[in-house]
Structure 1
Amino acid sequence: MDGQLRDVLEILSGRPLAVLTGAGLSTDSGIPDYRGPGSVPRNPMTYQQFVSDELLRRRYWARNHAGWRHMRRAQPNSGHFALAEIERKGVLTGLITQNVDRLHQAAGSRKVIDLHGRFDQVICLDCGTIVDRAALAVRLESLNEDWTAGRADAGDVAPDADADISDTDGFVVAACEVCGGMLKPDFVYFGENVPKSRVAAAYAMVDAAAALLVAGSSLTVMSGLRFVRHAAKQEKPVVIINRGQTRGDGLAAVKLEAGTSESLQALSAGLPGLAGAGSGPADWHAGPVIR
């Protein structure tokens, strides 16, 4: 066993853990990350652009429609399954993910907060109605039969299902069937705030833990970095597993420069269970996002 991995096991063993995951965890499931080594430079749409520019909104929905077909086929990888197994051992106070792909839940994790929302839901910005993304896909197919015909899936899809296609002319955007309002994927855009209740629930997971494990996140955005800072302020050890530099490296007790899947598998095998730990609040389960 690698010496650094032994250090990680020594630090984490016997402690209830909170886990924070990022896009790097899902790369082995065929979903490219935003900032990892070799990742394609991206310029994600902001919330302000989405709500204020009809042409940009049409472009986004066309790209999302193509990307959805790729994302829905993604399957959990060994890293997701390893974290689900660690939860079954009673070690986790909860898992906070910056990913919207719902692969943690597909792998069997239950105490999950989808910090940035979820790609399998759409919300109406006018009346608040939640729409199943698969149901919306059927409507979009019907509205865009000519646009979709013969179009191959995009080869490059971002973690938020934004596909790299340039021809979006003629795409028809669907409106809310309840009120005719504006539909938006139910995840947090750049320039949009994570709901306060969701942030509070995530802080509670860290407060209930004795250590924080970060896997596959560069911690570039404050929405994830704040939990590392919070744990460090409480003098709880932080372990980071990520290929490449992160903004939290200076706060980590150990930084493991390695792939997340194999590292989490080793942790799952090596971490002992905690008797009586991990029941957690009733909100921490696979189901509707904490809003």
Structure 2
Amino acid sequence: MRMRPTLSWTPAEDLPPGTTDPEPVADALRLGGVLVLSGAGISTESGIPDYRGEGGSLTRHTPMTYQDFTGSARARRRYWARSHLGRVAFARARPNSGHRAVAAFERHGLLSGVITQNVDGLHQAAGSEGVVELHGSLDRVVCLSCGVLSPRAELAARLEEANPDFAPVAAAINPDGDADLTDEQVGDFRVVPCTLCGGILKPDVVFFGENVPPRRVEHCRALVREASSLLVLGSSLTVMSGLRFVRQAAQTGTPVLIVNRDPTRGDRHALTRVSLPLGPALTTLAERLGIPADVRAVT
């Protein structure tokens, strides 16, 4: 029997409690040099579910692993069928007030950078620049044989042509951009190869069981070293890809502040955890800092 990926984490009882007072975060932003590390929780208000929060997709959905994707043509067919359908829902998502607040903080010179664990591109859509996409982006596709990158839109058009009658109704959309479909709904969905070498195409994202590219990790570590403080937004920090930066900051005395409704694996390293919804919390922070209220605007 195939084992489910080890993704769950139960917070220890001795973790410090959360607070509803965002003033310590406001103080850090006033000093400037804040490095943001964002997770799935910042995109839930845009209609993209998270993995581990209330009603998170891990309660009903096992994400694709790198090992399954590379080792099984059937798994690849299932992934691309689900992802092809899920992409439509992702394309409709728009930045929410949390994304816009982060972009506003950056415009006002309060941030030293943004690292996101998300693959949805919503930080950039809100106006943030120089975002480090720790886990890659669903907007790109990479060939596992020749390494060439290509736009996801091009692949979508090819898949549409190869599967003109494919139009199932999904039960739900997941944070990694795929849709919940049964094997019957996937059917004989046709996967297309790389146009240059005929190799296997994969979304340019880091699957579970796959490592973040070392150069990207080192770039993020350099950003942490240069930051005045690290602000975690909407991440449970369950997996090491994000937690390692929290640990790095704490080990060097860089203040860590977290805004997340639920306890996180990084709470023991944090100066504070603000237990509030991301959008309202970040909008309140923008108001306290005198940043124009256009972070509320719908774009």
**TM-score normalized by structure 1?**
0.89
Q: In the alignment, what sits opposite 1:164?
A: 180
**Per-residue Cα deviation, 1:204-244 (whole angstroms, up to 9, x for no partner):** 11111110100000000000000100111111111101111
Q: In the alignment, what sits opposite 1:245?
A: 263
* Equivalent pair of 2:20/2:276 in contact (CA under 8 Å): no
Q: In the alignment, what sits opposite 2:237?
A: 219
Distance of 2:214 and 2:256 partners within structure 1: 24
Q: In the alignment, what sits opposite 2:34?
A: 17
Q: In the alignment, what sits opposite 2:278?
A: 260
Q: In the alignment, what sits opposite 1:4?
A: 21
Change in Cα spacing, 1:94 to 1:11, as seen in structure 2 (3 Å) is closer
Report the AA paired with residue 92 of structure 2.
Answer: R
Q: From 99, 121, 144, give the equivalent of 1:125.
A: 144
* Equivalent pair of 1:83/1:268 in contact (CA under 8 Å): no
* Equivalent pair of 1:143/1:172 in contact (CA under 8 Å): yes
* Equivalent pair of 1:14/1:272 in contact (CA under 8 Å): no
Report the AA paired with residue 190 of structure 1.
Answer: F
Distance of 1:195 and 1:11 partners within structure 2: 30
- Gap runs ≥5 in structure 2: 1-18, 292-299
Q: From 55, 60, 75, give the equivalent of 2:79.
A: 60
TM superposition shift of 1:56: 1.1
TM superposition shift of 1:271: 3.6
Query: Helix, strand or coil for the counterpart of 1:13?
Result: helix
Pick which of 200-209 and 246-255 moved more.
Answer: 200-209
Query: Helix, strand or coil for the counterpart of 2:22?
Result: helix
Aligned ranges for residues 5-84 of structure 1 at < 5 Å? 5-40=22-57, 41=59, 42-84=61-103
Query: Helix, strand or coil for the counterpart of 2:165?
Result: helix
Q: In the alignment, what sits opposite 1:228?
A: 246
Q: In the alignment, what sits opposite 2:11?
A: none
Distance of 2:268 and 2:28 partners within structure 1: 17
Distance of 1:3 and 1:189 partners within structure 2: 34
* Equivalent pair of 1:93/1:206 in contact (CA under 8 Å): no
Report the AA paired with residue 215 of structure 1.
Answer: L
Aligned length: 269
1:112 aligns with 2:101: no
Query: Helix, strand or coil for the counterpart of 2:166?
Result: helix
Report the AA paired with residue 72 of structure 1.
Answer: A
Distance of 1:209 and 1:64 partners within structure 2: 36
* Equivalent pair of 1:71/1:101 in contact (CA under 8 Å): yes
* Equivalent pair of 1:218/1:246 in contact (CA under 8 Å): yes
TM superposition shift of 1:268: 2.4
- Gap runs ≥5 in structure 1: 274-291
* Equivalent pair of 1:89/1:272 in contact (CA under 8 Å): no
* Equivalent pair of 2:63/2:176 in contact (CA under 8 Å): no
1:141 aligns with 2:157: no
RMSD: 1.5
Distance of 1:215 and 1:111 partners within structure 2: 17
Distance of 1:3 and 1:34 partners within structure 2: 23
* Equivalent pair of 2:103/2:128 in contact (CA under 8 Å): yes
TM superposition shift of 1:3: 6.4
Q: From 217, 230, 234, give the equivalent of 1:199.
A: 217
Distance of 1:8 and 1:129 partners within structure 2: 41
The percentage of counterpart residues that share the same residue type is: 52
Report the AA paired with residue 31 of structure 1.
Answer: I
Report the AA paired with residue 164 of structure 1.
Answer: D
**TM-score normalized by structure 2?**
0.87
Report the AA paired with residue 64 of structure 1.
Answer: S
